[in-house]
Amino acid sequence: MSIYHTLGKIPKKRHIAFKNNNGKLYYEQLFGTIGFDGMSSLLYHIHRPTQVKEIKKQYSVAPKIVKENNVKSYLLKGLQVLAIEDYLESRKVILTNTDCNIILAAPKNSLKDYFYKNTDADELIFVHKGSGKLRTLVGNIDFKYGDYLLIPRGIIYQIDFDTQDNRLFIVESYRPIYTPKRYRNWFGQLLEHSPFCERDIRKPEILETHDEVGEFLIKVKKKNEIIEMVYATHPFDVVGYDGFNYPYAFSIHDFEPITGRIHQPPPVHQNFETDAFVVCSFCPRLYDYHPEAIPAPYNHSNIDSDEVLYYVDGDFMSRNDIEEGHISLHPAGIPHGPHPGAVERSIGQTQTEELAVMVDTFKPLMITEEAMKIADKDYHKSWLEK
């Protein structure tokens, strides 16, 4: 995130001696990406952040692929994913390629018995159901329904949920996730025509600082494996930091839709980007207001991208028989568009209450066993006129 943020105590200059009241040095850590060329923050720890006491189990969490080369449209019934006690075990990869994993999760319990770190991927967690607190080594963020939580790779975190009824839509990205370039000036500031601004970004507020020695289990994800590591000191021992690399929250309800006299293309709904995929937020908005406008989207071919749409809430005008938690997959190269009757129904409508998250990937997505468990295998026939 290209917004400078500081929390806790930091020294006047970088890379100088910084001591506590007893004269003991704090340990500086550069937390950065893309070598020394990407976003970074400087963290100051009570203890060395390098103290690994033991490496325990190592096991695979690689998704099991059913279809590698897919041209069939699918509808997945996301709320049919079973609720599971453990946070990590609840995460089910439904679609995947070499750039990202698209995951559904319904964890019942908070992540409290261990810490988690994804060393390979940024995590974009959309909160469909539930509320609570994201706790990290660089501060805490409260979250609720409709929030995106952007957790940069390498962040050690836990999650406290308020209830056991939690539903998460997660995009695990092997490419850094940014705000869209066309919404930023060359300084990185969000422009006036952007559908959101810096005021909408919720940065970490409360910095937990634990000065504890013992055994602290961190489950580390690397190359589709979980490695259980025991650290000798509490990972949340940061007394302060500053920089540009930290987790943040953004509410889909703070996205301000761009509308026009005629139908606007999907990029106006863009919320996040990488060089491998984009994420869009479809929010309640006024429909097109040309007197002869057709509010329903026109048929279009995804020549260069697979389109995934996660239906969150409201009335999805362009689709028939769509419910909350459904996920549509429209693969590259195959045209798709409104269902029969949707165009006609849309004419004369003045607004929509739909709420949805879209992920368009530039590489084809492979379908997993977990996806097939919740798939409507006849969805691709749903455009046939009866």
Q: What tokens does 380 get?
A: 């691709």
pLDDT digits (tens, 9 = 90+) for 197-215: 999 999 999 999 999 999 9
User: What secondary structure does DSSP assign to 144-211, as a single string?
Assistant: -TTEEEEE-TT-EEEEEESSS--EEEEEEESS--B--GGGB-TTSPBPTTSSS-GGG-B---B-----
What CA–CA distance (Å, rounded) separates 25 from 45? 9
Per-domain residue ranges for the chain?
28-64+82-252, 255-381
User: What secondary structure does DSSP assign to 306-333, as a single string?
Assistant: EEEEEEEES--TT-SS--TTEEEEE-TT
pLDDT digits (tens, 9 = 90+) for 221-270: 999 999 999 999 999 999 999 999 999 999 999 999 999 999 888 889 99
The greatest distance separating any two alpha carbons of the chain, rounded to the nearest whole angstrom, comes to 80
**pTM for the whole thing?**
0.96
pLDDT digits (tens, 9 = 90+) for 98-144: 999 999 999 999 999 999 999 999 999 999 999 999 999 999 999 99
* The domains spanning 28-64+82-252 and 255-381 adopt the same CATH topology: yes
In this prediction, residue 1 has a pLDDT band, given cuts at 50, 70 and 90, of: low
Percent of residues, the chain, with pLDDT higher than 70: 99
Q: Which residues pair with 28 in a beta bridge?
A: 44
The amino acid occupying position 16 is: I
Instruction: Give pLDDT, residue 349.
Output: 84
Q: What is the mean pLDDT of residues 14-31?
A: 96
Which residues, 6 or more positions from 272, have their beta carbon under 8 angstroms from its beta carbon? 124, 148, 150, 177, 178, 179, 180, 278, 279
Instruction: Give pLDDT, residue 35.
Output: 83
Q: Which residues pair with 286 in a beta bridge?
A: 351
Domain 28-64+82-252, CATH number (from 2.40.50.140, 2.60.120.10, 2.60.120.620, 1.10.10.10): 2.60.120.10
For domain 255-381, the question of CATH label 1.10.357.10 is answered with no
pLDDT digits (tens, 9 = 90+) for 302-357: 788 999 999 999 877 667 778 899 999 999 988 888 888 888 888 888 888 899 99
